[in-house]
Structure 1
């Protein structure tokens, strides 16, 4: 029995990358840290909010790599000479990845009260109607 993949379906011409995109998303390795929200702020815009308490702007980096939004956090180790009786505030590095659809652009990033907000905007494609002329083949 032959396995029919999503990208190989005869009605999905040109969607071969969709299966690779789904696999890449599943392999992104995102843990539960830091927690985040994704909200739709309008019909064409979104906001990703990450809880990054304890991180300064200089500890964070935001990049777009191959249609993938990557947010990284790395804090300097400032525990030298300090003795913690309890250490419950996470001070570990992280990487969060979000796969972006074609036409989604990253806008601004804002730090506010320990939350990092990253705004996304989806471009609305123009509706294009193309008429194909049918030639007659008289052979």
Structure 2
């Protein structure tokens, strides 16, 4: 297994700590638990949807928590009586699935239908953070702007 040395990047970047932590942790994801299966879909310019297949679970047995830049989906199946299964292929084990969200991504809602949990996410960048075009003026025009502000 090859490892990625990010040390040279630390010297030339400021404020990207979280990104590097995610990259370093990505090597540990292989061979991990992939239950429950999920899809991440881009349904618009700044609109995303996470779908989790939760066969056998009810909405009361699932919780969704959004905290800072992390979305956590947890499920715990309530045991109802004693069953005598001859074969059990539908998993009902407890799970915890965490998703790292980019900045300005907010959870807008969730729905549960036909064993599919769908979580809607929207990226809303504040106006102050959006790029804006700055007009370039000539020397005479710039002085007029300064005089107006000084008055």
Q: TM > 0.5 between the two?
A: yes
2:55 counterpart residue number:
53
Deviations along 1:92-113, one digit per CA (max 9) or x if unpaired, are 1111111001110011000111
1:70 counterpart residue number:
72
- Give the secondary structure class of the aligned counterpart of 1:42: coil
Which of 5, 18, 21 does residue 7 from structure 2 map onto?
5
Q: Does 1:119 align with 2:123?
A: no
Q: Gapped runs of 5+ residues in structure 1?
A: 131-139
Q: TM-score if structure 1 supplies the norm length?
A: 0.78
1:19 counterpart residue number:
20
User: Larger radius of gyration, structure 1 or 2?
Assistant: 2
Give the number of the structure whose residues are more often helix, by fraction.
2
Change (3 A) 1:123 1:98: same
